[in-house]
Structure 1
Amino acid sequence: MQQDAFDYVVVGDVGGTNVRFAIAKDPRIHSGPVVIEHFWKSPNKEHKTFLDALSAFMETISIRPKRGVFALAGPIKNNTVTLTNHSSWHVIGQDIQEHFNMERVDLLNDFAAMARSVPELSPTLGGEGFTTISKGLSLPDRPIIVAGPGTGFGLATLTPQPNKTWQVLRGEGGHQAYSPTTPLEADVFKLLQRKIGYVSIESMCAGVGFDQLLETTFEVFGQNAVKHSPAEAHELAKNGNKVCDAVCRIRANTVMTAYGDAVLASGAKGGVVAAGGVTTALIDYIGAPEALSRFFDRGPMSSYMVDVPIYLITSAEAPLLGAAAY
């Protein structure tokens, strides 16, 4: 048992809505690909604190790892983080270390872990663990953008290093300013701006901004606002509801514009790896010609974008793999 404790690392993926834990053999000790064991998922709202959630997971396993690596949706400072979209959870690495008698605990941003999972999922980008949104040619020596909306909007750049390792550059790309393109988007933007002031990419496509976006779009259409969940709105859109269809198109177009902007800003000819529950839910809209045109049509730089591939991560274990590898 003691040997197991030092052989294993407990890993976590903590978003604004759900928390996921697992254990993995410590990559510093065991060669070969990272393998996740005892995958566990639970809604954040079922646990008062992060420590409560981790305790609930630890009760399901017999091994007590001596190291923890946790990917969390928020900015990390001094191994401490308050979740951006679940602010009642303030997580401190030292507290985890002491509570569970660990020798070391590292906190990292969730999209840093998501990005780091890409080379662990498949030696060839677009292989197992991915589905293709748009085919292209991934250049092996160029950066890869890993981004997408869930509760919030995460963005990271994965850069290959000369020694065959990877560097992850994490930013707050989801909080960049939103820019409308169509007359409808401009009308929604103007009304939303009057309500909330600064309108970010995240507020237009991620879960945190959905209710406000739906309400505002109803108003632009001259209709009384009706509350729907994202899943309900998507279903209504497929059945011909014009307001819900507009919301789905606005969200998808915002996502694809953000992906294209990130490629241009970082020279990410390695491709784009989309992630997050919203991208998966809106895949029909994401892959539609209207949204794809937002990615590829870049005026005089359109030729630069032609061969940039776009993939979607399909593995639920991805951030956990990335945390272990990171």
Structure 2
Amino acid sequence: MKLALVGDIGGTNARLALWHDQQLESVRVLATADYPGPEAAIRAYLDELGLPPGAVDSVCLACAGPVGGDLFRFTNNHWRISRTAFCRELQVRELLLVNDFTAMALGMTRLRDDETRVVCEGEAEAGRPCVVIGPGTGLGVGSLLALADGRWLALPGEGGHVDLPIGSPREAELWQQLYRQLGHVRAEDVLSGGGLLTLYQAICALDGHEPHLASPAEVTAAALAGDTVALAVIEQFCCWLGRAAGNNVLSLGARGGVYIVGGVVPRFAELFLASGFARCLRDKGCMSEYFDGIPVWLVTAEYPGLMGAGVALQQAFEHGQV
């Protein structure tokens, strides 16, 4: 493989790196708000490394949103990309676009032992799919399956936009409050960085608290400092994440395990590990025992989506797809 570039582009940040000898090199994180589009961000990145146009032969970008056709509009930022115009402007031979959670799922195949924490003990069943789910700017959901030829198949989807599950009378009351605020209530409306603040506001409105926190970061900081309302927000967040993850396990038959990813949960990892997540994951009535022995991990790796973009590009090269 000639010199290649990989990117993991979310709503807030664009993570870029060179892909060389199946490893990431020269990782940089750029704010999407600072650039009019991906071409400008990549030009700035290459300029910093002293690489001229045409130095990179192939590019794989993991993008938040459904990927298909020549024109792609990013879900959670102002960027858009035309494959044809991108290749012409940057003098790139091949551009591979993959869904961001396809890349995130593929990134799970390269995790080191020190890049995960065990949430639920268990043994992954060979030949069964895994669920990869993670709150970040939005809620990403993907799945991963090992193929017989040694490749990995990651199935993209838009599972963050499913309806928020309700599993208790308290959650039904919260859902009604959220519905009054939002109308249709998606899982992503709560299970995301911004969703922490939305959930905080809903709990304050329902329980008669005067809201004094104004950002997701403030909610997290207050919870870590012992604020009782903020702690209730984190607990409910974790419980709803468990219900959403459990729904995906049942839908996919995902006895290969569950990976909790994204930038939100690691910020309150100890609270998450002590929360009702595991209880709500398996709170499925007559199907609760299905979850016995299914392992769950919290992923703490710094750039799993970026690594997954490299894996996607590597597999495409090895099987003649680019």
**Residue 94 (structure 1) aligns with:** 84
After superposition, residues 95-134 of structure 1 pair within 5 angstroms as: 95-122=85-112, 127-134=113-120
Whole-angstrom CA distance in 2 between matches of 1:113 and 1:304: 28
Give 3-state SS (helix, strand or coil) of 1:7's partner. coil
CA distance in 1, matches of 2:131, 2:153: 12
1:171 matched to 2:157: yes
Q: Does 1:65 align with 2:60?
A: no
> Which letter does structure 1 place at the counterpart of 2:306?
L
Q: Is the 8 A contact 1:256 1:286 kept in 2?
A: no
Q: For 1:51-107, what per-residue CA distance to the aligned partner results, in whole angstroms no more than 9, with x for missing partners?
A: 221111111223421110000111112143222111x11122222211110101111
- Structure 1: how far apart are the matches of 2:96 and 2:275? 42
Number of aligned positions between the proteins: 309
Percent identity, aligned pairs only?
29
Alignment CA distance shift 1:223-1:193 (3 Å): same
Deviation at 1:219, TM superposition (A): 1.0
Distance 1:299 1:212 in 2: 29
The RMSD of aligned alpha carbons is 1.7
C-alpha separation in 2, matches of 1:80 and 1:154 = 21
Equivalent position to 1:9, from 4, 9, 25: 4
1:279 paired with 2:265, answer yes
CA distance in structure 2 between the aligned counterparts of 1:223 and 1:11, rounded to whole angstroms: 46
Provide the TM-score with structure 1 as the length reference: 0.89
Provide structure 2 residue ranges, at least 5 long, that are not aligned to the other structure: 313-322
CA distance in structure 1 between the partners assigned to 2:49 and 2:240 by the alignment: 42
**3-state SS of 1:282 partner:** helix
CA offset digits 1:229-281 (Å, max 9, x no partner): 22221221233423212211121111111111111111111101111011212
1:53 maps to which residue? 41
- Amino acid of the structure 2 residue aligned with 1:78: G
CA distance in 1, matches of 2:71, 2:260: 27
Query: Using the alignment, how far apart are the partners of 1:261 and 1:148 within structure 2?
Result: 14
Q: Which runs of 5+ in 1 are unaligned?
A: 1-5
> Which position in structure 1 is the counterpart of 2:31?
43
Residues 146-165 of structure 1, C-alpha deviation per residue, up to 9 Å, x if partnerless?
11110101111111111121
Preserved CA contact (<8 Å) 1:144 1:157: yes
Cα distance change of structure 1 residues 166 and 79 upon mapping to structure 2, 3 Å threshold: farther
Cα-to-partner distance string for 1:102-122 (whole Å, 9 max, x where unaligned): 101111111100101111235
| Pair 1:234 & 2:257 matched | no
Paired amino acid for 1:110:
D
